[in-house]
Structure formats: structure tokens, C-alpha cells
Amino acid sequence: LVILDGLDECKSEEAQCEFLEFICGQVAEADGFPLLWMICSRPELHLERAVRRAETEGLCWVEELRVDDPEAQSDVESYLRDEFRRIAKRCHPRKEGAWPPGKVFDRIVSASSGLFVFATTVIKFIDQSGSDPRSQLEAVVAAIDGAPLPQGSMNPLTYIDNLYLEIL
């Protein structure tokens, strides 16, 4: 099984379609092709068209998984707001102002995509005993943005990676 996640984030729409059509063509041409492909992407129109154009009838399936439920997103946002407020009160009881800053909070809410497993993993990582929540938050934001983690930081999304690995 070869898993390609984030095809829609590759170089250009043309390159994405070319790559997808190449894979579909190889699978269609080779009798008993030894690899299975799982290609994950946001539902982009150009990719849907590329799959339909490819001669892979019976060899290719499209499954749409919707995770953008507004109610779930709202619930996750409320959970994160309450948990960040609790952590801020515990760690900095006299400090005024919202923590984390609005843009950082919005980035975490957006990255959660309405999934509580993401939100709870982030909160557990930030709220680890013996660690500084601010530096832990920096590591979370770096991991979300795909940036290098701050020196000495663990990957805050390891738990989720291991969960998805087990599922797959």
C-alpha cells in the first residue's frame, strides 16, 4: 500500500493531474499491478476530472470523507477556548489578556477540522506537567505549519500520527 496524502498541495494543478493520470495509467495497463494506491486530497475539481478521465473503471474508487461539520467545529472551538483559559489561569493567574493570541487560536481551531482527537492531543501536549505551555504552544504551531520544531521539542502530533498509523 502506497499512501500519498495532500496531492492537492503539490506544485501545480497541472502536475497534480499529470501525476494522478500516470498512476491510474500504470494500474490500468499492468495486469495484477502489485501496488495499491491511496491518494488523499481535498475534493478539488481538477483532480476529480483527472480520475474520471483515467481509464480505470473497476480499478479506482473515490470516497469523500466530510469532516467540516460546522457544529463539530463549534464544539471543538468551545473546548479549546475553555482549556486554554484553564491553562492560562493555572500558569499565569495574574496576567491579563487572551492566551493564546487570536491568530494562533484560530490557526489551531482551523487545523482541528472539527476533530476532537486533534484538539485533545494539542491540549494534552501543551498542558504536560513540568513543561512550559508557551514553548509547547510554539511546537504545536510549528508542527501545524510544517515548520522545523523548536530545538529540544517533541513532535506534538505523535499521538495522532500513531493513531492514524494503527487505523491504516
C-alpha to C-alpha distance for 86 and 78, rounded to whole angstroms: 12
- Residue 30 pLDDT > 70: yes
Mean pLDDT of the chain: 83
Question: What predicted TM-score, i.e. pTM, was given to this entire model?
Answer: 0.58
> What does the DSSP 8-state code read for residue 8?
G
Give residue 4's pLDDT band: very low, low, confident or very high (50, 70, 90).
confident
Q: Which residues pair with 40 in a beta bridge?
A: 5
Q: Residues 135-158: pLDDT tens digits?
A: 999 999 998 888 888 787 788 888
C-alpha to C-alpha distance for 137 and 126, rounded to whole angstroms: 6
Q: Residues 58-82: pLDDT tens digits?
A: 677 777 776 666 777 889 999 999 9
C-alpha to C-alpha distance for 22 and 53, rounded to whole angstroms: 12
Q: Residues 82-121: pLDDT tens digits?
A: 999 999 888 776 666 678 999 999 999 988 888 888 999 9
Share of the chain above pLDDT 90, in %: 24
Q: What is the mean pLDDT of residues 28-46?
A: 81
